[in-house]
Amino acid sequence: MKNLINQIILEGPDLSGKTTLYENIHNMTQYRWNIQDRSSLSMLVYAKLYGRDEFPHVEALNAELNNLNNFMILLLPDWKVISKRFSKRGDPIQNLSSLKKLYNIFSEAADEFEHLPNVYVLRKEVDDFILKEVIS
């Protein structure tokens, strides 16, 4: 039996393909899903990066993941993909060093959460991804 999806949550470091995936899901499903671009996992990752209080974000993330009607897709393509995108278009907030730190923190989160039934870690580029595998 499949759980009904309340919302799809897209997570991952900057330049990982979240916007592309967001658009692809909406185009494929005619806006069937409520898609959230970033959530409490990003809040936690940025709290770790900048040395902020992590506790409220851990609590929010646990509540989000414990709701099996939420489906999280964590985008984590190879670091080379992200660094190449950064070289081509840059980022208004990150530099290559901070982006690598973010990538590493998201990678740790992926290792921690990918065993959950409502978390899918996408470790390749969105363009190579067969979307139906996840949202069907």
**Does residue 25 or residue 114 have the better pLDDT?**
114
| Measured torsion, CA atoms of residues 119, 116, 53, 44, in degrees rounded to the nearest 10 | -10
Concatenating the DSSP letter of every residue in 43-103 gives HHHHHHHHT---HHHHHHHHHHHH-TTEEEEEE---HHHHHHHHHHH--SS--HHHHHHHH
- Reading the block at residue 58, the tokens are 């851990």
**pLDDT by residue (tens digit) across 55-112?**
999 999 999 999 999 999 999 999 999 999 999 988 888 899 999 999 999 999 999 9
What's residue 27's pLDDT?
Answer: 86
What's residue 1's pLDDT?
Answer: 43
Assess contact for 71 and 8: CB atoms under 8 A: yes
- Whole-prediction pTM: 0.88
What's residue 12's pLDDT?
Answer: 96
**pLDDT by residue (tens digit) across 12-67?**
999 999 988 998 888 888 888 889 999 999 999 999 999 999 999 999 999 999 99
What's residue 44's pLDDT?
Answer: 97
- Reading the block at residue 127, the tokens are 């363009």
pLDDT range class, residue 127, cuts 50, 70, 90 = low
What's residue 2's pLDDT?
Answer: 58
Nearest to 72, CA basis, from 63, 80, 81: 63
What's residue 72's pLDDT?
Answer: 96
Rounded Cα distance, 66 and 53, in Å:
22
